[in-house]
DNA sequence: GCTTGACCTGGAGCATGCTCTAAATCCTAT
DNA sequence: ATAGGATTTAGAGCATGCTCCAGGTCAAGC
């Protein structure tokens, strides 16, 4: 859903393609607020430190944007910040821990699957209630719906 | 998943079936902690006030347990406490607002559906990453995996 | 009566994930 | 040179949903 749009060569905030993007541009392109971008960085959700200008401003490059998008997707499936940091640290540590990365992803996949199944299961109850309400309302006898006991 | 088990006639905390259950028993049967039961009550997640003994202890009856289970299912699909309170108030208000109840449930259903689709979509990315890691690890060339740029 | 454990209330505490503020600094345009 | 807006930082604030604590009450068994 979120895609890092290719830079149209001369966009706002710097036309030099190698200079990197301002935080505002990065936010716009990733769909994440600037606040959140800084928060993620503080929280350790980085694989490589984001570049800085001489004056200390962040400069986002293609790789940074791609990583941020990955973070949003992991977040969207409910992966906690801590776990994403863990994953980032593994990638950051370089080659040799691919088994661990895989294990982390598989564990998360299992969590998401379980959660998905649970939600779908409970959604059925809601659907059932909706059906019942629709039916009763159409039939004009909504009085028969589940209601609290008169007075115990 | 959570079911209100039928009372086996002489259980703990009172054998008179009409006397109602202690909060501990209600917690056990609904799978919710006693803390949470009290919290839900304070938060307005009640359709009818839970009964009390002369001494002020809560007594849970069949209807209370059923309602709590409904609450857990709504929560499990991500319905916020506030919305459940809203729903509880509608039921509590009695007949005549069935359209509103239906609208609330339909709105929630739409939210859940959208969320479900989003999670499933993003889960695909994770699955893809898992596939790639598995393949590379099996092939013994994990070096080729996504890694941070060497130094910008 | 007395002990013991369950229960009561109001309120504090905690985990998570942002979201915002203040004061200072940077940079660009005029 | 300077005004204005964008950005920086550390830290506070907020929303949600529990979770727990202190100090007191209730009730059942001995």
Task: Specify the CATH number for the domain of residue B5.
Answer: 1.10.1660.10
**Is residue B152 situated within a structural domain?**
no
The lowest-confidence range among B6-10, B22-26, B126-130 is B6-10
Whether residue A21 lies inside any domain: the answer is yes
Question: Which protein residue lies nearest to nucleotide C6, measured between its Cα and the C1' atom?
Answer: B24
Is A88 in the same domain as A104? no
Co-location of B39 and B77 in the same domain: yes
Q: Does residue A152 sit within a domain?
A: no
Q: Is the CB of B38 under 7 A from strand D?
A: yes
Cross-chain residue pair A143–B116, CB shorter than 8 Å: no
Q: Model confidence over A39-65: pLDDT tens digits?
A: 999 999 999 999 999 999 999 999 999
Q: Do A102 and B137 touch (CB under 8 A)?
A: yes
The number of beta carbons lying within 10 Å of the beta carbon of residue B81 is: 15
3-state helix, strand, coil in chain B (%, to 5): 60, 5, 35
Q: A107 with A131, same domain?
A: yes
pLDDT of residue A14: 39
In a domain, B149, yes or no: no
What are A112-141's pLDDT values in tens digits? 999 999 999 999 999 999 999 999 999 887
Query: Which residues of chain A does B74 touch, with a Cβ-Cβ cutoff of 8 Å?
Result: 122, 126
Which residues of chain B have a CB within 8 Å of the CB of A116? Answer: 116, 119-120, 123
ipTM of the complex: 0.89
Measured between beta carbons, which residues in chain A are less than 8 angstroms from residue B21?
none
Q: Which domain holds residue B86?
A: 1-94
B78 and B15 share one domain: yes
Position A146 in a domain: no
Q: Torsion-angle region of residue B5: left (phi > 0), alpha (psi -120 to 50) or beta?
A: beta
Please state whether strand D lies within 7 Å of residue B12 at its CB atom: no
Residue A117 shares a structural domain with residue A62: no
Do A73 and A23 lie in a common domain? yes
Quick check: B53 and B40 in contact, CB under 8 A?
A: no
Residue B9 scores a pLDDT above 90: no
Question: How many distinct structural domains can be found in chain B?
Answer: 2
- Are the beta carbons of A127 and B109 closer than 8 angstroms? yes
Question: CA at A65, C1' at C24: how many angstroms apart?
Answer: 28
- The answer on A79 and A33 residing in a single domain is yes
Q: Protein footprint on strand C: which nucleotides are under 7 Å from a CB?
A: 6-10, 16-21, 25-27
Q: Please, are residues B136 and B146 in contact by the beta-carbon 8 Å criterion?
A: no
The stretch B123-132 carries a mean pLDDT of 97
Q: Do A55 and A103 fall within a single domain? A: no
Q: Do A28 and A74 share a domain, yes or no?
A: yes
B39 and B108 co-located in one domain: no
Q: Are residues B15 and B55 in the same domain?
A: yes
pLDDT of residue B149: 77
Nearest-5° Cα angle at A137, B98 to B67: 45
In a domain, B26, yes or no: yes
CB contact under 8 A, B130 and A92: no
């Amino acid at each position: 859903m979120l895609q890092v749009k290719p830079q149209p060569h001369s966009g706002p905030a710097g036309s030099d393609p190698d200079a990197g993007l301002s935080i505002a541009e990065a936010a716009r392109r990733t769909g994440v607020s600037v606040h959140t971008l800084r928060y993620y960085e503080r929280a350790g959700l980085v694989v490589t430190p984001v570049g800085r200008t001489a004056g200390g401003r962040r400069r986002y490059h293609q790789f940074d944007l791609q990583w941020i998008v990955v973070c949003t997707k992991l977040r969207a499936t409910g992966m906690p910040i801590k776990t994403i940091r863990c994953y980032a640290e593994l990638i950051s540590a370089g080659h040799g821990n691919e088994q661990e990365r895989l294990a982390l992803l598989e564990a998360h996949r299992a969590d998401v699957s379980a959660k998905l199944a649970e939600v779908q299961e409970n959604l059925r109850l809601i659907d059932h209630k909706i059906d019942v309400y629709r039916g009763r309302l159409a039939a004009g006898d909504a009085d028969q719906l589940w209601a609290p006991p008169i007075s115990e």
